[in-house]
Amino acid sequence: MTALPIEWTLRPRQPAEKVHEAVSCILPLERTRQVRRFHQQIPAYRMSPLKGLTHLASRLGLGGIWVKDESARMHVQSFKVLGGSYAIYRVALKYLGLDGQDIPFKELTAGPLREKLEGLTFAAATDGNHGRGVAWSALQMGLNSVIYVHRLTSLARIQNIQANGARVVVVDGNYDDAVRQVNEDARREGWQVISDTSWPGYEDIPRWVMQGYTTLLSEAQEQLAAQGLTRPTHIFVQAGVGSLAASAIGYYANLFGEDRPVSVVVEPDKAACLYASATAPDGQIQTVTGDLDTIMAGLACGVPNPQAWQLLSATADVFARCPDYVAALGMRVYGVPLLGDPQVISGESGAVTLGMLMMIMARPEGRELREALGLGPDSQVLLINTEGNTSPDEFRQVVWEGSMPLPPEYKLQLLP
């Protein structure tokens, strides 16, 4: 039986005081400004582009589609390096007894402070992009890293991590098994774990990772303002453990409060732990088990980040899940755009939000959600392409060979 292209649940908007409480403790506005200043000190830093898909928006009956394209971010092809680099910076300051001080990044890469960091080794579990970002960030400071991956991780992703100086350990299990294993080994070896998910007693670093992601959002807001837009009306954001989604939705809740964009959190149907949590009768965090076998490798997570869930449960409007063919649709449309629209090179996890948006706007199954979201000619939708072509073999299978095609019964019904 063919999986439904869209499954979703609508959440009631929470009171302003609950939203402020959830956001301010994790993403205070002053911290987002500090994070941006830090990233601007890294020599490889460049603002990633915001691309407008004007013609596609018209065909879908929307006012605009804006894609924050992270595919070339700091030579890592993913937004993940923003979180990893800022967390490593904060860990280094704490290790030096300088936590809370604004030490220039270059002072940590050479000279007396760098020498004092010699004993640090950073470790992480990853589906690919987070580990690559941690490895790259450690390499900039001349420090060691050890990255744990699960057994379904592609060879290309492993090689990309190794190319940034890391030792890679393959765990016989899924992503969540890799998380557990790296923590056990790190305690024994004295490594410092850089994780984008939290647990009791380990909360500062995941919060720093989430704060690191806000750089791409503050850039996007500047870029939208340059187009004459005060804010997006809607934001679709993909989720694994939920850290990026919480950062994105929380950032806009911080800026606009009750007038924040309508938000949709999108997950693969085989790893939809946030959707499961949102639909649970008791409102508690839910875990998804099994292989989590989805082409959206960066989203193949079965356990939500509790900090992210705290924020998302107070701010997100819709939680949705979809099968792999929706992400594959997004990859192909990004890669072969309508005449006049810019090309976007997007991996499986990066493209799922575009695929979901198209299903909502161009299929009868999306009508109820389309109306609930208020999507139409006045809508300005922000998407985040979270990764480029980080796994070439899988990318070619989808874009060249046409794997994961749209089922015939879900053919798109576009405007002329």
| Active site residue ranges | 80, 127
* Residue 197 contacts residue 191 (beta carbons within 8 Å): no
Residues 175/197, Cβ–Cβ less than 8 Å = no
Which residue(s) pair with 66 in the sheet? 52, 382
| Rounded-to-integer distance, Cα 99 and Cα 310, Å | 25
Tokens of 368: 């109820």
d(CA 124, CA 316): 28
Cβ atoms within 10 Å of 114's Cβ, excluding its own: 16
Residue 376 makes CB contacts below 8 A (sequence gap 6+) with: 61, 62, 63
How far is residue 293's CA from residue 270's CA, in Å, rounded to a whole number? 7
Q: What angle do CA 259, 261, 266 make, to 5 degrees?
A: 150
The Cα–Cα gap between 261 and 233 comes to 5
Residue with tokens 């971010």: 73
Q: At what angle do helices 306-315 and 204-226 cross, to 10 degrees?
A: 40
Residue with tokens 């024994």: 188
Of 124, 279, 106, 276, the residue nearest 202 (C-alpha): 124
Amino acid identity, position 31: R
For 198, half-sphere exposure in the C-beta direction (CA atoms, 13 angstrom radius) is: 21
CB crowding 34-57: b at 16 or more within 10 Å, else e:
ebbebbeebeebeebbbbbbbebb
Cβ-contact 282, 227 below 8 angstroms: no
* Of residues 207, 189, 32, the one with CA closest to residue 119: 189
Q: Which residues of 156-177 are buried (b: 16+ CB within 10 A; e: fewer)?
A: bbbebbeebebebeebeebbbb
